Amino acid sequence: MSRVQLALRVSDLEGSIDFYRSLFGVEPAKRRPGYANFAIAEPPLKLVLIEGPAGGPTVMDHLGVEVGTADEVHAATERLSGLGLATRVEDDTTCCYALQDKVWVHGPGREPWEVYTVKAGAPDATSIHPVGARPDASCECGVPAAATGTAAVECCG
């Protein structure tokens, strides 16, 4: 099964959980400190809520396509690379309370997209920000989006 992921950085996590619970009629699939996600069957959507700065506006953090297997992630990597898109592969990475394989690309507006699979749960978030916002990033996008209130894609396009 594949589904689109929308990750929003929100200033009021509890209020946002209440709103999206009402909007989609489902309970969060996962709740952790500063984080919640909804696995919505209809329309097929994974809605991720990441706590941002208090009082700030809700902003788009990143977009994604969740796929069922690591093989599908690797096939997407080959396809995207073959089309000439710059890719960043992260295998066996812990992100959003899950062990994942993923590949990142950026759209023409520098919006970060990931194609990923969840391999297992994880006890902590480790990374809940898009490509380039990690300490080992290859550019100066190392400031987590929570610190800036915007998606951390300033130079990683």
Find the Cα–Cα–Cα–Cα dihedral 30, 35, 39, 43, rounded to 10°.
160
Answer whether residue 117 shows pLDDT above 70.
yes
Q: What are 118-154's pLDDT values in tens digits?
A: 998 888 766 655 534 433 332 222 223 333 333 333 3
pLDDT for 1: 75
d(CA 112, CA 42): 24
pLDDT of residue 155: 30
For the stretch 34-82, pLDDT in tens is 999 999 998 899 999 999 999 999 999 999 999 999 999 999 999 999 9
Instruction: Give domain 1-61's CATH number out of 3.40.50.880, 3.40.50.1010, 3.10.180.10, 3.30.565.10.
Output: 3.10.180.10
Judge contact between 1 and 10, C-beta under 8 A.
Answer: no
Location of each CATH 3.10.180.10 domain in the chain? 1-61, 67-123
| Model confidence pTM above 0.85 | no
- Report which of residues 137 and 103 the model is more confident about: 103
Instruction: Say if CB 87 and CB 24 are below 8 A apart.
Output: no
- Which pLDDT belongs to residue 95? 85
Whether 98 has a pLDDT exceeding 80, the answer reads yes
